[in-house]
Amino acid sequence: MDLVRQSAQAGKVVVWEESARDGAQAKTLMSPRFRVRLAHETGRVFGADGPRHVVFAAGFPAVCAEEFEAVRQVAAEAEGAVSVAAVCRGARPDVAQAVASVRGSRHARVMVVVPASEAMAHVMVHRPAAEALRAGVDLVKAARDLEESVAVDICLADASRADTALMAHYAQELTGAGAGLVVLADTVGGQLPGACREMFDTVRKGCDEDVVLASHLHNDLGLGLANTLQALAAGVRVVSGSWLGIAERSGMVATEQLLFLLARHAPELLGPTADLWWSAPDLRQLPRIAHRVAHETGVPLSVTTPIVGSGVGSLSTGTPFVHPELFQPYDPSAVLGIEPQVLLTQLASARVVTAVATRLGYRLDREQTGAALDWAKSRAFRTGQAVVDDDSFTAYLDGLTRATGPTR
């Protein structure tokens, strides 16, 4: 049984997780052990329904022997947690190698990349797009003959610049040959949301209902998330994402952002009848997974990273400190398990200074609070650093309280 097709046809969302595979093209490298761990943790977001909601792209086996073994390890050790996939080029030896890397794993898949636009077809396979797509049909049949238990998906590279009628025709042919999914890719990340919606709508209308479309949309114009939401609005339910958005060039939609939005705003985004989950995602796991991916890959979580960044739940100015609910679209503690953190900066108010001092174990009177406030603002401008670290503030407070009397 193809759980991914079953989920998509039931209207449930499946995330095709690309951080271990396309993420490598962002100049990162996940160890085999970490890939296994990440697959388990990503699947655990959905509990026992991980294989129904997550396809984990474990890698590109043709890269080298070590990469083949990494994919093989994920397939062997993460089966049952997610549906494991290997990705390959549209060449028979590569397809056979990809199938071999996941053979024996429950709910295993391979994704074969086939060019869809004329320009990409001539670059990748030196033939017209129609011939490349026709060859893709033969590759599906060959892969199915190699191992019937491994699902075969076709990714149409550069779909955003391809002929939609041609793609619709071959999406039907590919499905008839045994393809589980037909993935439309904005390979270069240059598509605008309206054009993205039109592409999926047009291809969808040119196919029978047995064709299951999926999306793989890059973020070069900063529109990966917007385009993915357009694909979902067009009825697509298998959508590619990557933890922290890591992927080739400017990346793709971040998995944590996509899951958060769909879990909390599906009715507004997709209509009141949207029923996207066998098991709803546990959003409190997102920050922990994101931090582990950041540590493994060296991709930093910044103050502006949505959902999981260092700015989430942080407070440093007066009114937001007093009424944080007015300045946040959700409660980070209740939704994500991120506890509020009060930081001392040049924007601090007396209340903020008092709160930080109390956290560090000091009780300040009004005069001490005013002195500490002046010191914090002056220090920030003197050092060029907005945030006053706890050690520096503690050292200052020690001196302050010794000079004016102990309040600790």
Domains detected in the chain: 3-297 (3.20.20.70), 313-408 (no CATH)
Mean pLDDT of 257-280: 96
Which of 1 and 84 is assigned the larger pLDDT?
Answer: 84
Q: What are the pLDDT digits (tens) for 3-24?
A: 999 999 999 999 999 999 999 9
Q: Tell me what pLDDT residue 405 has.
A: 53
Q: Tell me what pLDDT residue 33 has.
A: 97
Closest by CA position to 166, among listed 150, 187, 182: 182
64-94 CB burial, b ≥16 within 10 A, e <16: eeebbebbbbbbebbbebbbbbbbbbbeeeb
Which of 402 and 105 is assigned the larger pLDDT?
Answer: 105
Q: What are the pLDDT digits (tens) for 296-313?
A: 999 999 888 998 988 888
Q: Tell me what pLDDT residue 323 has.
A: 75
Q: Tell me what pLDDT residue 329 has.
A: 84
Closest by CA position to 366, among listed 393, 324, 319, 404: 404
pLDDT at 280 over 90: yes
Segment among 134-148, 251-265, 271-285, 343-357 with least mean pLDDT:
343-357
Q: Tell me what pLDDT residue 316 has.
A: 80
Q: Tell me what pLDDT residue 338 has.
A: 86
pLDDT at 408 over 60: no
Sequence-ordered list of residues with C-beta below 8 angstroms from that of 378, at least 6 positions apart, any chain = none
Segment among 218-227, 290-299, 307-316 with least mean pLDDT:
307-316
CA angle 246, 247, 252 (to 5 degrees): 80
Q: Tell me what pLDDT residue 198 has.
A: 98
pLDDT at 407 over 60: no
